Amino acid sequence: MRLIRFLFLLTGIMLFTLACAADDLSPTQPASAPTELASEVPPRIPASTQLPPPLFFSPTPETTPFPVWVTTFSDPILASLSGRRPDFQDDFSLLNRGWFYDVADIPFYAHLGNGALILKIPEGKEKTDLMIYNPTLNRRNFVLSFDLRFGET
């Protein structure tokens, strides 16, 4: 058994040595001395010039009015709700008012902080959407109003 191990190791070392030396088996060619050294300096690439900032900025575009079909749909709804108190309102000051988010069909309590419901899209390629819900909002006809603040991404 020891002899077989020794022969196996010796064969491996010989194959390794031959594989490393195989590149050196090519015939050697005499090295020729360089006939002329390059004495030219390559041309200098000019540095990019920076443009000064403009003195006048272009005006901010004005907001465009809503299309007619939007206002004909929304105006009667908003008129009927004017002066009416909401049936459900949340300022997100209490930690558990029933807000959940759904990841892989498993509900988790939503993140609340600084009086806001924090929506953060999950990272990764598998799931790029986010679903937030509250079971108390199970109504037939309702109007939902949002006050959104976008954070840094």
pLDDT tens for 20-63 read 665 555 555 555 555 555 556 556 666 666 666 666 677 777 88
Q: Which domain, by its residues, includes 111?
A: 88-153
Number of domains in the chain: 1
Residue 76 belongs to some domain of the structure = no
Residue 7 belongs to some domain of the structure = no
Residue 42 belongs to some domain of the structure = no
Residue 127 belongs to some domain of the structure = yes
User: What integer is the mean pLDDT of 103-123?
Assistant: 72
> Hey, what are 116's tokens?
């806001």
Q: In this predicted structure, what is the pLDDT of residue 86?
A: 81
Residue 109 belongs to some domain of the structure = yes
pLDDT above 80: residue 107: no
Please report, to the nearest 10 degrees, the dihedral formed by the alpha carbons of residues 148, 122, 94, 146 taken in order.
20
Range with top average pLDDT, 5-9, 43-47, 76-80, 135-139:
76-80
> Hey, what are 20's tokens?
């490393």
pLDDT above 60: residue 17: yes
